[in-house]
Amino acid sequence: MRPQNVGIHGIEIYFPKTYISQQELEQFDKVSEGKYTIGLGQQNMAFVEPYEDVNSLALTVVQNTLEKYNISPTQIGRLEVGTETLLDKSKSTKTVLMQLFSSYGNHDIEGVTTINACYGGTAALFNTLAWVESSAYDGKKYGLVVCVDIAVYKKGPARPTGGAGAICILIGPNAPIQVEEIRSTFIDHVYDFYKPDAFSEFPTVDGHLSIKTYLNAIDNNYKKMNEKLKERLNKKFSLNDFQYVCFHAPFAKMVQKAFSRLYFNDVLSQNNPQINITEEERNTLLKKNMTVMKFKNQLISLLQMIGIKKQNQVFFLENNQEIFILDHFMRDFAHFQVMKISKFKKEKEFQCFLMDQVQLLHFSCLILNLTTQKCKINWI
C-alpha cells in the first residue's frame, strides 16, 4: 500500500552563537543609518567561529533532531543535504554526517548532497518526499533533509545579506504536516547569483536582477499553480486557502516584497466583477510593477484598473466617508499613514495609524470592496 499523508514530522533549527548587529555594521561600513536595518529589514547577522564550518553546523542540527524527536539512528533510511557551501569538490557533507549513523551499524542510508545555490534544500526536500512515496521505501524508516549554508560576501551592498545556519527536517508517512502532491516549479537560466571561481568563497551577485528573477518566479508559479489545480481538481487557487506562506529569505525585506507580489497576483486573478482585464493586460500590469517596486504604485494600478478617475492626485470613489492616505518614502521603501475621517458625527472623528507594505496590500483589496460606496482618497 502506498504511504499516506507523507510530510513533515519535525523541524530543528540551529544558528551559531556568534552574530553581529546590523546597526553596528552600518556604522562600520559608514553607510546611512537604516540602510541595512530598514532598507533590508535586517537586525543581526550570524557568523561562525574558527572552530565551526558547514559540516559541524550540519552535524549539530542532525544530532539535535534525533535527540529532540527520540529517533534512533537506525530508523533513518535516507539523508540528503542541500547546500552551496563546499569544503571539498568531491566528498559531500552527507558522508560526514554518516558518523552519526555508522557507529550504530546503519550504513544503508540513501541520499547525497544537492548543490544548486539556494534551491538545493528545496530539491533535497522533494527528493526525500519522493523516496517515501516510492517502491524503494520499506514503510519503517524516516528521511532527513538538511539545509545548511554559510553565506559570505565581499565588501559591498550584498554583505549584510549574509549569515549562517542549518535546518533539519524529519520526513515520513502519517505526518502532522502533509505536503500536497500538486506543486509548481519555475526554473530559468539567469546569471543573478553564481560562483564561477572555485578558489573564492565569494559569489558574483547582481542584486537587482536577483530580485526581478525572484518576483518573476512568483508570477509564473502562481499562474502555473492555478492551471494545475483547475486541470486536476477543477479548483481555483487563492491565498484564502492558506493560513501561512513561507518564502525564501535572502533578506527580510524581500519577504515583504514577495508576499505583496503574491497578493497582487491573487487580486488580479480572482473573479472580481470590478476587474475586467485580458490576460495580456494582466501580464503588462505585472511587468510594469516589476520595475516600479513601490507599493503605492501597485495600489494606484488597482484603482485605475477598476475605473477610478485620477484628478489632481486625488482618487474619487463612491462612499459616505473620506479616507486620506498620506505617504512618505524612507529611501526606497514606503511607510504609509492613513487618516480616516468619519462624516456621520457633528465633530469629525479622526483615526490615524501606520501601515506597513503588507498591510497596504490588504488595504488596497479593501478599497476594491468599497467601490459601490462613496469616499475620497488623497495622495499628498
Domain 7-179 is found in CATH 3.40.47.10? yes
- Give the per-residue pLDDT at 299: 55
pLDDT of residue 169: 98
Between 34 and 267, residue with greater pLDDT: 34
Given this model, what pLDDT does residue 277 score? 64
Per the residue annotation, which of 248, 349, 352, 362 is the catalytic one?
248
Is 253 one of the annotated binding-site residues? Answer: yes
84 as an active site residue: the answer is yes
Active-site residue, selected from the candidate residues 118, 147, 168, 375: 118
12, 26, 80, 84: the catalytic one is: 84
Return the higher-pLDDT residue of 329 and 132. 132
pLDDT for 6 equals 96
Q: Which residue did the predictor score with more confidence, 157 or 271?
A: 157
Residue 200 is placed in which grid cell?
A: 573564492
Read off the pLDDT of residues 87-117 as tens digits, 9 standing for 90 and up. 888 999 999 999 999 999 999 999 999 999 8
The pLDDT of 132-157, averaged and rounded, is 94
Burial class (CB in 10 A: 0-12, 13-18, 19+), 55: buried
CATH 3.40.47.10 domain position(s) in the chain:
7-179
The overall average pLDDT reported for the chain is 79
CA-based max dimension of the chain: 82
> Which residues contact residue 347 at a Cβ distance below 8 angstroms, ignoring those fewer than 6 apart?
none
Cα 244 from chain centroid? 11
Q: What is the pLDDT of residues 336-369, one digit of tens each?
A: 333 333 334 333 333 333 444 444 444 554 444 4
Expressed in percent and rounded to 5, the helix, strand and coil fractions of the chain are 35, 25, 40
pLDDT of residue 240: 79
Of 235 and 309, the one with more pLDDT:
235
Task: With a cut of 60, say whether residue 291 has pLDDT above it.
Answer: no
The CA distance from 174 to 183, in Å, is 20
pLDDT in tens, 184-242: 999 999 999 999 988 888 999 998 899 989 999 999 999 999 899 989 988 877 887 88
Share of residues in the chain with pLDDT > 70 (%): 73
pLDDT of residue 260: 78
Return the beta strands (E) in the chain as ranges. 7-14, 19-21, 44-46, 76-82, 113-114, 142-151, 163-172, 177-178, 193-194, 204-205, 310-311, 314-318, 322-330, 333-342, 349-355, 374-379
Question: What is the separation of C-alpha 146 from the centre of its chain, rounded to a whole number of angstroms?
Answer: 18
pLDDT of residue 323: 44
- Length of the chain counted residue by residue: 380
Of 5 and 275, which is predicted with more confidence?
5
- pLDDT at residue 100, rounded to an integer: 98
Q: What is the DSSP string of 171-215?
A: EESS-SEEPPS----------SEE---TT-SPPEE-HHHHHHHHH
pTM greater than 0.85 (yes/no): no
- How many other β-carbons are positioned within 10 Å of the β-carbon of residue 141? 19
Contact 113, 81 (CB under 8 A): yes
Q: Nearest-5° angle of CA 117, CA 151, CA 17?
A: 135
Cell for 6?
A: 507523507
First to last CA, the chain: 64
Averaged pLDDT for residues 256-284? 72
Q: For the ranges 266-270, 302-306, 330-334, 372-376, which has the lowest average pLDDT?
A: 330-334
Q: In this structure, are residues 326 and 380 in contact, taking their beta carbons and an 8 Å threshold?
A: yes
Task: Look at residue 170 and tell me whether its pLDDT is greater than 70.
Answer: yes
Q: Is 345 annotated as a binding residue?
A: no
- How far apart are alpha carbons 11 and 168 in whole angstroms? 6
